[in-house]
Structure 1
Amino acid sequence: MPSIVLVDDERWVRTALRKVIERSESPYQVVKECANGQEALDWLDYHEADIVMTDVKMPVMDGLTLVQLLRERPKPPEVVMISGYDDFQFVQFALRAQVVDYLLKPVEVDDMRKCLETIRTRQSAGGTTDAPTPVTAGNEREESPIKLAVRYIQEALPGDVTLQEVAAKVHLNPSYLSQLFKQQMKMNFIDYVLEQRMERAKQLLCRTTLRISEIAERVGYSDLAYFSNTYKRITGMTPTEYRKGRV
């Protein structure tokens, strides 16, 4: 049975995580609980584990140091960081260290289930990649979370699309996806969605004779004035000015 090592200096947290893992109905089993990173490393010197779930802040050896030392091993286990802090520096470190997920306490059953499904898919595919691979069907399995996120955004537009919704689709924590998105797309999630709406508006302005109000509605804006102001802020021109310049 696939195995998990829990690393947290608070026993009640480890107990809670164990119960969440059990309730997730995944095939993974907790085989060891450790109070700090050094204790986990000592145990892993003589045992193997598929996953290490570690807190960030701990005495003796913290989770950041533990992750760095695990990455130096020939066959490191998958790592999930669990923290009570939605801290940019911690999330940034997790991205650089190719941590599978960054879960916030208290961890919900659904979040744990999605995280473990992601790891199971990665391991079934034969290894890790530069970014977590979500559980999907068919040829989607080989796509990165960002490629999948972009595809979901494209499919959802011009309807409403939120970070939480897309994060659920690609089986990642919203905070983790937000930082991953900014790192790989060089812009934040909201700006990307807005840019895509305006690109669709541009196409409609150039290729159709639809009224501006109709175009606004088609790209998700019920308020014409708000659409026009947003369009001008992004492109430097109002929709009417843009259309006239393309004629």
Structure 2
Amino acid sequence: MTHRILLVEDEKWVRTALRKVIEKINLPFAVVHESSNGMEAWKWLEHSHADIVVTDIRMPVMDGLTLLKQIREKLKQTDTIIVSGHDEFAYAQQAVRLGAFDYFLKPVDTGDITECFRNWLQRYEPDPASTEAQQAENQHIRTPVDQVIHYIESHHRYDLMLAEAAALVHLNSSYFCKLFKQQKGMTFTDFLTSVRMREAVRLLEHTSLRITEIADRLGFADAAYFSNTFKKEVGASPSEYRKRLHPA
């Protein structure tokens, strides 16, 4: 059985890129329609069916959050997945609270889409092997601290604030901070810094992204602050580290 997807995005090239990624993941999903805003999508949904609506947040006429609310109220059999930019993460969080199945950050990663759609299939078409694997994973991710770590790593949330992390697992910041230090032997801030630096090393080694682009991807508002943090943790600035990898 092939599951039907409606793509909603005001930029045509983004819709095309998303459709091509979905076609490549080798799972039983097909894009059956594309819309350039929430109103177009809703009018199509009034006489057609989609199992999943993949939608941008900021669009003219009707935005993604409004579309999500209407789907949740009137189309109980349709799930929504949000696609957002880094600067729209607060909206993406709101979307999840409103009932979105999941969300992606732009640019969309093939691995993230694959994992999300597999999770969706598991929810609606569970098989013994995948159910057993998920149960094993759930046993491993059982503490609030482990849930937050899994969330950071799976969603690439390198800029997650302590208050946001605590809210994800319904704890107050002070208690979550103490719990994290107790279970991991370091503060949440130190842990997040280590995760950021590990990802920074990977990006420096395996991509041609500029230092400012890496800093932005890791949630640093200031590239100089990123460079100073990197040098403190790694022993060399990002540019020095990259030069060592590719000496002239």
Q: TM-score range by the shorter chain?
A: 0.5 to 0.7
For the Cα contact (< 8 Å) 2:9–2:35, is it kept in 1? yes
Which of the two has greater helix per residue?
2
- Alignment root-mean-square deviation, CA: 3.5
Match of 1:195 in 2: 182
Query: Using the alignment, how far apart are the partners of 2:166 and 2:119 within structure 1?
Result: 18
Q: Specify whether residues 94 and 175 from structure 1 end up closer, same or farther in structure 2 by C-alpha distance, changes over 3 A only.
A: farther
Question: What is the TM-score when the length of structure 2 is the normalising length?
Answer: 0.60
Describe the SS at the equivalent of 1:70. helix
Residue type of the partner of 2:157?
Answer: S
Unmatched segments (≥5 aa) in structure 2: 186-248
- Shift of residue 192, structure 1, vs aligned partner: 4.5
Query: Using the alignment, how far apart are the partners of 1:101 and 1:42 within structure 2?
Result: 23
Q: Specify whether residues 109 and 186 from structure 1 end up closer, same or farther in structure 2 by C-alpha distance, changes over 3 A only.
A: same
Question: What is the TM-score when the length of structure 1 is the normalising length?
Answer: 0.61
Q: Specify whether residues 162 and 93 from structure 1 end up closer, same or farther in structure 2 by C-alpha distance, changes over 3 A only.
A: closer
Unmatched segments (≥5 aa) in structure 1: 126-134, 155-160, 199-247
Residue type of the partner of 2:68?
Answer: V
Is the aligned partner of 1:149 residue 2:150? Answer: no
Q: Specify whether residues 33 and 62 from structure 1 end up closer, same or farther in structure 2 by C-alpha distance, changes over 3 A only.
A: same
Query: Using the alignment, how far apart are the partners of 1:10 and 1:120 within structure 2?
Result: 28
Match of 1:15 in 2: 16
Q: Specify whether residues 57 and 115 from structure 1 end up closer, same or farther in structure 2 by C-alpha distance, changes over 3 A only.
A: same
The 5 A counterparts of 1:1-247 are: 1-124=2-125, 136-138=130-132, 140-141=134-135, 149-150=141-142, 163=149, 166-167=150-151, 172-175=154-157, 182-186=167-171, 192-197=179-184
Aligned length: 178
Residue type of the partner of 2:180?
Answer: V
Deviations 1:52-76 (A, max 9, x none): 0000000010001000111111424
Residue type of the partner of 1:182?
Answer: A
Percentage of matched positions with identical amino acids = 36
- For CA contacts below 8 A with separation 6 or more, give which structure has more relative contact order: 1
> Larger Rg: 1 or 2?
1
